[in-house]
Each structure stands twice: as structure tokens, then as C-alpha cells.
Amino acid sequence: MLQHLWKTVLLSGILAVILGVMVLVWPGISIFVASVFFAAYLLVAGITQVVFAFSLKVSLAGRVLLFISGAAALVLAVMCFINFGDAVLLLAIWIGIGFIFRGVATLVSAISDPTLPGRGWEIFIGVISLIAGVIMLAVPFESLAILTQVVGIWLIVLGVFEVVSAFGIRSASKKMTEFRQEVTATTTE
């Protein structure tokens, strides 16, 4: 298994580097593609929630919430497909709100549990996430452009580390094979 794992890790690393370079070279197209996928996600989620509102056996309040959530997602999806500028803006807002929710949740859990390991780091991460969310909401287009650059750089770094790891796995695999051959040769003598 280890003999073939290195090939998968190598391929993953190469693809991550290629994707990272593409994101850095074509940030506008990358944002556009992400926005199209986001609009498609909203469409699928909206349809699913509306269907669930009528098919699941949940309380009336649950049905109403599913229907409203699904209908809102469908409206947003249609808006995104009509004008992809709306999709980009909505994606930035979605990311900003996600950062804010994560930041608040991380802060609350870290502040409320004094025994939490790495509590200081959790508080720091919560504050940074909260600030990132506020910035995303304040200047969504600029923030999305910067986030795209960060993602491109991160993909390249991650890809390089995976490529290096692949060769480490390959070397370990060869050593294990040699060791097995030595053990087999010793036991057969």
C-alpha cells in the first residue's frame, strides 16, 4: 500500500501547485468560478429545503423554516445566475458571516472553559476570525481578492509540502521493502 501512496500524494501535490498558480495568475476567473459553484450550491440547497419542507415529518414551525430558508436560497440563486456580480458579492458576504460565526463560537467556547488546552490560541483565533469577518463585510470585493491570493499561495505551499512528503513516503517504502527482503532472506536460511 505504501508503495502506491506516494504516487497519490505526489499527484495531489502537483495538482495543488497547479491550482494555486492558476488562482494567482487568474484571480478574477477563479472568483467567478467559485461564484458559479456558490450559485449552484444555493440552487441545490434551496430546492432540497423546499422539498424537505413538504416531505419530512417535522413540526409546522420546522416546515415553515425549511420552506423560508429554501425559498430564500432559491431567490438568491436566481439573483446570482442573472448577475454574477451579485454572486461574487453574496459569496464574500457568506464568507464574512462564516468568519464572524466561527470567531464568536471559538471565543465563547474558549472564554467559557478555563481548562481548555491552548485557550490563549483559541481566543486569538476567535478574535482574528471575527476581525476577518468584519473586514469581509466592510469591503467584500477587495477582501475576496486578497482571500483569493492567500488561497493561491496556500495551495502552492501545501502542494510543495505534499510533493516533498511523497518522496519521503517513497523512500520509506523502499526501505521497508528492503527490510522485508532481508528478514525473509534471514528466515529462509
Q: What is the pLDDT of residue 1?
A: 64
Q: What is the pLDDT of residue 179?
A: 83
How far, in Å, CA of 48 to CA of 40, rounded? Answer: 12
Q: What is the pLDDT of residue 38?
A: 86
In the chain, where are the structural domains located? 2-188
Phi and psi dihedrals of 83, rounded to 5?
A: -140, 110
- DSSP symbol at 115: T
Q: What is the pLDDT of residue 127?
A: 95
Q: What is the pLDDT of residue 24?
A: 93
Helix axes 27-55, 60-82, angle to 10 degrees: 150
Phi-psi region of 118 (alpha: psi -120 to 50; beta: other; left: phi over 0): left
In tens digits, what is the pLDDT along the chain, a chain of 189 residues? 666 788 899 999 999 999 999 999 999 898 888 888 888 998 999 999 999 999 888 888 888 998 999 999 899 889 888 887 888 888 888 888 989 999 999 899 889 988 888 889 999 999 999 999 999 999 998 988 898 999 899 999 999 999 999 998 888 888 888 888 888 877 776
Q: How crowded is residue 109: how many other Cβ atoms within 10 Å of its Cβ?
A: 14
